Homo-oligomer: A and B are copies of this chain.
């Protein structure tokens, strides 16, 4: 009738509660035989640990830290805001983030080393394609502190899970949206990247090129512009390109710094189709204005939640944490989500 408790398991296994406890909480001093009896009983009864009761008894608080790239990047501002928000409504979880210089391996490494001594229950890192992090990451995992990569992956053996979108799929999606919007006519597409050293940017570009090449043969790609996610740089480069190539029919910006793109577009009459990533404030406005046509968003809220869920599951040691990949959302001006309420500054 009711869910079985540990006492039920003990009875079924023919051992004492203490022994069951030693098995399920890995306290050692249990014979192989007893361990098997207990595990069999667990399976047989379908015992599921009552996490609520467990946390109650322990007054457990999870301590999680996010390592995020420093800077004005609007997307990560959103992530920071979300973390703060979750912190407030968190029952027994303490959430923090630490800003680390962007794309700086040494700094990230130092930060990871520092975290090793603090008693943490989990770390989420925005991955970096760098070899030098391996020892620090290994040391953390060795201490039982799980590391999850967020948004941009780390090598598989250096993290327990990756939370983020499939960036190849994102690039493909962008390609198909822009491709279909040519209505079968030919066109010239300008791709705007941040830095191809970043894994996510590379993946998006690969996906994009592949779909354009395979399914839209009448569309050609102009040479890539690498804008380093820097608005000023992007503005200038795009202004030039638009001036010299009046035949541009579409733009795909797969990185950040799109304010620069908006500025460049505003300065002239041509209105190509535009697809960008991340629904941040200026992208939202540009979408509503009709300046942008598609925004592909990785839904930071879901990502943050997924990180927390993953880490909790890992720590609670419960069955395989649901590894539901996060799909990029496609926004048009018609399906914009309501703005999150702004917190009035006190």
Q: Hey, which bits of chain A sit against chain B, CB under 8 A?
A: 2, 50-53, 55-56, 59, 91, 169-170, 172-173, 175-177, 180-185, 207, 211, 273, 293, 325, 327-330, 332-335, 337-338
Contacts and interface: CB of A to CB of B under 8 A. Distances in A.
Given A50-B91, A183-B182, A338-B325, A332 B56 contact: no
A335 B181 contact: no
Give the most central of A175, A330, A338: most B CB within 10 Å.
A330
Nearest to A296: B335
Contacts of A2: 59
A52 B334 contact: no
B52 A173 contact: no
A293 B215 CA distance: 13
Contacts of A91: 50-52
A160 to B, nearest CB: 20
Given A2-B59, A55-B52, A334 B183 contact: no
B332 A327 contact: no
Contacts of A329: 327, 329-330
A286 to B, nearest CB: 15
A67 to B, nearest CB: 26
Nearest to A170: B335
Which of A56, A175, A177, A328 is packed against the most chain B CB atoms within 10 Å?
A177
A173 B337 CA distance: 13
Contacts of A169: 334-335
A17 to B, nearest CB: 18
| Max chain B Cβ within 10 angstroms of own Cβ: one of A53, A91, A329, A335 | A335
A59 B1 CA distance: 12
Given A52-B55, A91-B52, A172 B335 contact: yes
A335 B325 contact: no
A169 B53 CA distance: 43
Contact of A327 (B51, B176, B181, B335): B335
User: Max chain B CB contacts within 10 Å: which of A53, A180, A325?
Assistant: A180
A29 to B, nearest CB: 29
B59 A176 contact: no
A183 B293 CA distance: 12
A182 B332 CA distance: 16
B327 A177 contact: no
A334 B55 CA distance: 42
A124 to B, nearest CB: 23
Nearest to A333: B176
A286 B181 CA distance: 20
Given A51-B91, A176-B334, A327-B329, 13 more contacts: A50-B56, A53-B56, A169-B335, A180-B180, A180-B293, A181-B183, A183-B183, A183-B185, A207-B334, A211-B334, A325-B337, A325-B338, A329-B330
Contacts of A207: 334
A327 to B, nearest CB: 5
6 contacts: A50-B56, A50-B91, A172-B335, A176-B333, A176-B334, A325-B338
Q: Which of A59, A329, A332 has the most CB of B within 10 A?
A: A332
A327 B333 contact: no
Contacts of A59: 2
